[in-house]
């Protein structure tokens, strides 16, 4: 169990753009490795995205005064989870590392892999980034994001 640090950001677009550039570079590598055959660009993109990015399952609920977000992040170290928030969006990031141990048994099958956890969630209403809190317990990241006062006032009108 542990608290997760939430950082206020002005914009998340630069980080999202950098991730898209990484995926584009990898998709091009896949395209070239497959003989530069046109017509499979979308397949190459999806394969690159799957190799580079882990998008955990999330659930977002709106309560009276706040949003509650839960993300399934089993096996993560809370110190490695980075959360950035703007009034409109939340970004969850982390490097995931699967260390293969040398064992006498033969590995038959594994879906564990190293990569980059990268999940962006857009809030339906503006939130107060200064009051967002996060906690990680038993593989579940829980984020509470208070709805901004002006968004609550507009909703009540």
Two structure tokens written together for 16: 């999202």
Sequence-distant (6+) residues with CB within 8 A of 36 are: none
For residues 89 and 121, give the distance between their C-alpha atoms in angstroms, rounded to a whole number. Answer: 6
Predicted confidence at residue 137, as pLDDT, reads 93
Residues of the chain with pLDDT > 70, as a percent, come to 80
Predicted confidence at residue 157, as pLDDT, reads 46
Q: How long a stretch of residues is the chain?
A: 157
Sequence-distant (6+) residues with CB within 8 A of 153 are: none
Structural domains for the chain: 2-10+54-156 (2.60.40.790)
Condensed to tens digits (0 to 9), the pLDDT of residues 49-108 reads 777 777 889 999 999 899 999 999 887 888 889 999 999 999 998 877 656 666 677 767
23-55 burial string, b = 16+ CB within 10 Å, else e? Answer: beebbeebbeeeeeeeeeeeebbebbbeebbee
**Threshold 0.85, pTM exceeds:** no
In this structure, are residues 93 and 117 in contact, taking their beta carbons and an 8 Å threshold? yes
Segment 127-150 shows an average pLDDT of: 94
pLDDT surpasses 90 at 144? yes
For residues 145 and 84, give the distance between their C-alpha atoms in angstroms, rounded to a whole number. Answer: 12
> Across-strand partners of 71?
58, 141
pLDDT surpasses 90 at 129? yes
Lowest mean pLDDT among 4-18, 83-97, 112-126: 4-18
Condensed to tens digits (0 to 9), the pLDDT of residues 36-49 reads 888 888 888 788 77
């Amino acid at each position: 169990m542990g608290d997760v640090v939430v950082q206020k950001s002005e914009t998340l677009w630069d980080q999202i753009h950098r991730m898209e550039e990484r995926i584009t570079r990898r998709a091009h590598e896949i395209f070239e490795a497959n003989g530069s055959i046109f017509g499979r660009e979308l397949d190459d993109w999806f394969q690159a995205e799957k190799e580079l990015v882990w998008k955990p399952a999330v659930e977002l609920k709106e309560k009276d005064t706040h949003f509650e977000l839960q993300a399934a992040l089993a096996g993560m170290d809370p110190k490695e989870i980075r959360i950035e928030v703007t009034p409109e969006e939340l970004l969850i990031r982390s490097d995931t590392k699967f260390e293969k141990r040398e064992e006498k048994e033969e590995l038959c099958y594994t879906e564990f892999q190293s990569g980059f956890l990268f999940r962006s969630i857009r809030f339906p209403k503006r939130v107060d980034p200064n009051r967002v809190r996060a906690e990680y317990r038993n593989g579940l990241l829980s984020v509470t994001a208070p709805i901004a006062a002006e968004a609550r006032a507009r909703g009540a009108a």
